[in-house]
Chains A and B, each alone.
Chain A
């Protein structure tokens, strides 16, 4: 099952690494540092909004992963089960609304 995917990966790896060394090197420009100057460490002012966004994504990711098998088994579920799934989704919607009201979703 995964073997084909792994083989695909393998083929790409081999192909790409074979293609890559074909760079005619203008050796004099070897240490040319293109791009901006990096003054100091590579530590940018990391805004905490990135972290909160990633956390909200983790929450919805977990929700989606739990909902996928339920969706597969959906046709055979009873009303009670569907009610529970709706409650599950509403709990997470409440979390989103809380984050929204508290301004966690502002300004990227």
Chain B
């Protein structure tokens, strides 16, 4: 039983031992080679899951839309990703004549590299992590933010007005939704007292004095806004107005084809999977769970989150660009700020640690009660924000109807006269 649970650990130790003993390198070199191998394995995992995910997504979205999806390549269409891969490899790589060589060629590479680098800090099991940075959560957000530059590179390098315009609009969207993401990871870090992803998971399990309650129960509003921002960050549906075929002709990657386009595509899916993993780590408790080995739990939870992504893609209509920006800056950001302030005040009012209660005052409560208080406050913020938004929307709609009615009355009067 413990063999299955510790499978990854055993394999890792085995390989490490082999490298150490057979080649007799210095410890530093052995470490370097092991880390290199870990990097290769992570990249392979990301690439393979990318292939599988494109297939699953197409099938799931097809079923939601009452059709079958790919079923020609192999049994039940299982070889579809391979067919797609062959297509991407053999497509001609047309490069526009006036494009800026370096920038044009470098852009998809930068996006793919940034997307894959986020996997370096994701913990798949208690000991299995690329590198346990003590700034893990911050690192993932920063790398996601850094990949935005590559989109401008792609748009500019294509030397195409529409690509450039699409790049600007994409960047405006990504940059806008970065803010609620940052603001809603803060309460999680406040609870856990550390930015390291393993510490955050430990806080949600019963290990090391954690609470044993996943953060989604404590902070549902934060989880929801993080999910929405994550979907918008990776420019998936319903936020994919920039790669919609009816809009600016496929956006900033209109001049790319073949392997480079495949790299953009890979970047998008790898980013989405990274967001799913981050959500499970931050809010669902990561690899914690009974009976099954931890890495299985991690993959199951991430798969569940990604299923939600695919479900939303198949169900919701595309959002208009001004609706998207309004929702971000006028709804999500103020609500997140209010939520943050509320959580801070409540955490200080109702600490769950005896020593802190002594030092700073406040009413000592058990972790469960604190969880309940935070949950209630999050619900209040969510419902309050929705109520305010609904009231404003109703006011706007009523005003518009009045205006239309007035104009109709005018026209009738003018027609009679």
Indicate if A touches B (C-beta under 8 A): yes
Which residues on A are within 8 Å of B, measured CB to CB?
Answer: 1-5, 7-13, 15-17, 19-20, 22-26, 29, 31-36, 38, 42, 44, 46, 50, 53-54, 56-57, 60-61, 64, 67-68, 71-72, 74-79, 82, 85-86, 89-90, 92-93, 96, 100, 105-108
Beyond A20-B259, A93-B337, whether A35 also contacts B158 by CB under 8 A is yes
In the complex, whether B334 has a CB less than 8 A from a CB of chain A is: yes
- Closest residue to A105 on the B side, CB-wise? B329
Contacts across chains A and B counted by CB atoms under 8 Å? 197
Contact A96-B347, Cβ < 8 Å, known A36-B161, A108-B321: no
- What separation, in Å, do the CA atoms of A93 and B249 have in the docked complex? 37
Q: How far is the CB of B14 from chain A (nearest CB, A)?
A: 20
Are the CB atoms of A31 and B165 closer together than 8 Å? no
Which chain B residues have a beta carbon within 8 Å of chain A's beta carbons?
32, 35-36, 38-40, 42-43, 89-94, 96-98, 109, 112-113, 116-117, 119-121, 130-131, 133, 138, 145, 156, 158-165, 168-169, 171-172, 175-176, 178-179, 182-183, 186-187, 189-190, 193-195, 249, 254-255, 257-260, 263, 321-322, 324-326, 329-330, 333-334, 337, 340-341, 344-345, 347-348, 351, 353, 356, 359-361
Contacts of A93 in B (CB 8 A): 334, 337
Q: How far is the CA of A81 from the CA of B120 in the complex (A)?
A: 34
Q: Which residue of B lies closest to A10 (CB)?
A: B39
A8 to B: closest C-beta gap in Å? 4
| Nearest CB on A from B215, distance (A) | 14
Q: Which residues of B contact A5 (CB under 8 A)?
A: 117, 120-121, 130-131
A35 contacts B96, C-beta separation under 8 Å: yes
- Write the chain A residue with the least CB distance to B158: A35
Contact A60 B36 (CB under 8 A): no
B residues near A8, Cβ cutoff 8 Å: 39, 42-43, 116-117, 119-120, 130
Q: B117 to A25, Cβ gap below 8 A?
A: no
Beta-carbon contact of A13 and B109 below 8 Å: yes
Contact among A24, A38, A100 with B329 in the assembled complex (CB-CB below 8 Å) = A100
For A76, the chain B residues whose CB sits under 8 A away are 356, 359
CB distance from B192 to the nearest CB of A (A): 9
Interface residue SS majority, chain B: helix
Please measure, in the bound complex, the distance between the C-alpha atom of A107 and the C-alpha atom of B92, giving whole angstroms.
39
Contact between chains at B195 and A72 (CB < 8 Å)? yes
**B131 adjacent to A42 (CB under 8 Å):** no
Contact A64-B40, Cβ < 8 Å, known A5-B120, A8-B130 = no
Known contacts A8-B120, A34-B255, A79-B361, A105 near B345 by CB under 8 Å = no
What is the minimal beta-carbon distance from A65 to any residue of chain B, in angstroms?
8
Q: B109–A17 contact, CB under 8 A?
A: yes
> In the assembly, what is the distance between CA of A105 and CA of B327, in Å?
11
**Given the complex of chains A and B, what is the CA–CA distance between A56 and B172 in angstroms?**
11
A57: nearest chain-B partner, CB-CB: B175
B189 and A42 form a contact (CB under 8 A)? no
Contact of B334 among A17, A53, A82, A96 (CB under 8 A): A96
Q: Contact check: which of A16, A42, A64 meets B186 at CB < 8 Å?
A: A64
Task: Name 25 interchain pairs, CB-CB below 8 A, sorted by A.
Answer: A3-B32, A5-B120, A5-B131, A8-B130, A9-B113, A9-B117, A12-B116, A13-B109, A23-B89, A23-B93, A29-B94, A34-B255, A35-B255, A36-B249, A42-B156, A42-B160, A50-B171, A75-B193, A76-B359, A82-B345, A93-B334, A96-B329, A100-B329, A106-B322, A108-B322
Q: Are B35 and A108 in contact (CB under 8 A)?
A: no
